[in-house]
Amino acid sequence: MKGFFISFYLSIFLVLFQRETESAQLRSNGIYIVYMGASVSSKSDPRNDYDQLLSSLMERKKNAVIHSYSNGFLGFAAYLSEDEAKSIAQTAGVVSVFPDPVLQLHTTHSWDFLKDQTAVEVNSNPSSTSGSISNGTDTIIGILDTGIWPESESFSDEDMGPIPSQWKGTCMEGHDFTTLSCNRKLIGARYYDEPGSSNAGASGTPRDKNGHGTHVASTAAGIPVKGASYYGLAEGTAKGGSPGSRIAMYRVCSLNGCQGSAILKGFDDAIADGVDVLSLSLGASDGMEQEFSVDPIAIGAFHAVEKGIIVVCSGGNEGPNSRTAVNIAPWILTVAATTIDRDFESDVVLGGNKVIKGGGINFADIQKSPVYPLIYGSSAKSIHALADSEARNCIPGSFQDDQVKGKIILCENKDNLYFALQKFESLKKQGAIGMLLINNDERAVASTFGSSPVAAITEEDGAKIISYINSTRNPVATILPTVVVPKYKPAPVVPNFSSRGPSFSTRSLLKPDIAAPGVTIVAAWPGNDTKGVVSGKGPPLYYVLSGTSMACPHVSGVAATVKSLHPSWTPSAIKSAILTSAIQTNNLQAPITTNSGSKATPYDIGAGEVSTSGPLQPGLVYETEINDYLQYLCYTGYSLTKINKIASSLPANFSCPTKSDSDAVSNMNYPSIAISNLKENESKKVIRTVTIVDQDESVYTALVDAPSGLDVEVEPNKLQITKNSKKVTYQVTFRLTSSTKEDMFGSITWTNGKYKVRSPFVVALSNDSK
């Protein structure tokens, strides 16, 4: 699967963002990050140790420091030798010192689909949900990404009011970017480059030279733009989830990836600038997971949440294997990807006009009738091919020109050595007309093939075509240009690439948190792009991308809308509202499934598919306090001394439990529940506290959905909510009554007839990886 998504992603960009190996991602080129925790001590005293260490280093090595962090947290990034890094790590006040890592990107109609899927009706009270306030007016979404293309119509500030007074940021000038590039929509832009760096024109400007950041920004907060499409495909009104929100772009990525030191600087500036939401469609790859004190995203997100900023991150594209989700700290809202009800179909017509429904995006201009000879790659092996599998998989060099000239070639795609377009480009040079690629995942997630006659087909349809070839003297075919099939069912479906839980660090915390549209999303694109251009056409102003990168800004847009309606809500209240109102059914009114057809579990989709209106009026929320997160650090092995450096303030009587283990994480006041290491005939208890956010007094009743073999008891099973009792605590006991080898899933829903407040739960029989 990893090979598939890399193939898909690079077939879009052709040359951008090749996945680096673990060692390459960890290389720092001599740059180390020194993290020193909160900007004030737990007693609200200035941190003189930071000033002393920084001054001392700058005196010894004048140009060593490339970034300093002092707004939301303390630290710096600097050129250091390994010995210097080890020495500084022992200095008083330092939490950690680690090599500067290189992280990678996790890369219209989707909002209409989400609204159609939403089962919760929002109260039509004009004072709460009508007008521009429901569009996220005046909330500020900070985006850490590849930059932005300010001229896109999606970022017009027409009819927008003055910039919010809370904004303290700036619009940095740079190459082909001036202060006039910003407006009342795009209110801020910054960029971060190593001194003296030169990255193929991507440095020295907030301008997006890649497209990813522009796409993400317009998905989160783009204004409605009528008639948007990718060369006529998926035409409609492109809009963001929170079109009234303002955008602040922090370009932390270059063509080589996203430097950890730049990510931390982006967090530090965004905290001071006054953003409400931070959206990061980037992160480590599977196998690159780091514990909190050496993870730039976890560090920055913790201090942002301390300051009241909700942080939304993509969960990664390393599925469908388990334990692949990243950005899994409990203070982060972690997003998985799903499909929408739209299919990009490229039909294959065989002799006798038999039609096979292929997939992918192509604008091929060849005969519509099946007049081209069709061959299976394995039947045309060159004498130079080392094995039958090379010809079967259409490895470049497997054929001689006369074997493929004028023909359509049927190829398998099990080698993971070459991308689809690489295979076709080789065939095209030998005179081939087109290529059919047998791959379930390529069929499910449309790749962009430009003007090349290429279509992806499922293994089932591949077998049908092979049978046709073998039973016909002169097999022929053609490949039709792509059409969009609306109201496609079932949807949503979890694509294979979306990273899965359980969490790699502990099974006592459920990750990912939520799912959102992340497949074939149409959004804004740089106006001078050449990579997505189809032959004979101008640059596309809107483009199609897939990945958890695209899912993340959908949730960021919802979070901004909730924040605009409830400005006093904490990040955890907003997260809770999003999770407890999530959707679990598809457009067939059946449970959401994965691409393999199995029922999706919380390891696939967290609480479910994000709702656009449910979070606005959730009824009850779970407030996860900073104290809960600090206890989480205790449970995961941090000493009280180190925690005291990390936190801005500690409760007077705060202490780590004598016995700190990951199982205690289950008692964190989180809107989902995860139990680990439960044995047969054993029981475990967790405690949760809910807070009323609706003014009505009412009684909530618990509804339990539990699998066979697991007893789940909620005490009390009724909650009396009054204006004088805004917080109510309950206890859940889980008891395993029969032996099983599989993790168990269910939910607890509190309802008063008006609201349904649902928490998914996972019960794991082991705390070890499977």
Q: Which residues are catalytic?
A: 145, 212, 549
Q: Which helix (H) or strand (E) holds 247?
A: strand 246-251
Do residues 523 and 543 touch, judged by C-beta distance below 8 A? yes
Exposure letters 9-44 (e unless 16+ CB within 10 A, then b)? bbbbbeebbebbeeeebbebeebbbbbbbbbebbee
- First-to-last alpha carbon distance for the chain, in angstroms, is 18
Do residues 680 and 738 touch, judged by C-beta distance below 8 A? yes
For 481, which DSSP code?
Answer: P
Cβ neighbours of 560 (radius 10 Å) = 34
DSSP 701-751: EEEEE--TTEEEEEESSEEEEBTTB-EEEEEEEEEE-S--SS-EEEEEEEE
| 397 phi, psi to nearest 5 deg | 95, 0
Do residues 551 and 337 touch, judged by C-beta distance below 8 A? yes
Under DSSP, is residue 214 helix (H, G, I), strand (E, B) or coil? helix
Do residues 142 and 149 touch, judged by C-beta distance below 8 A? no
How far is residue 417's CA from residue 426's CA, in Å, rounded to a whole number? 14
Under DSSP, is residue 470 helix (H, G, I), strand (E, B) or coil? helix
How far is residue 681's CA from residue 466's CA, in Å, rounded to a whole number? 53
- Cα three-residue angle 682-688-690, rounded to 5 degrees: 155
| Cα-Cα-Cα-Cα dihedral sign, residues 383, 389, 392, 397 | negative
Task: With both helix axes pointing from N to C terminus, report the angle between 260-273 and 296-306 in degrees, rounded to the nearest 10.
Answer: 10
Exposure letters 175-211 (e unless 16+ CB within 10 A, then b)? eebeeebbbebbbbbbbbbbeeeeeeebbbbbbbbbb
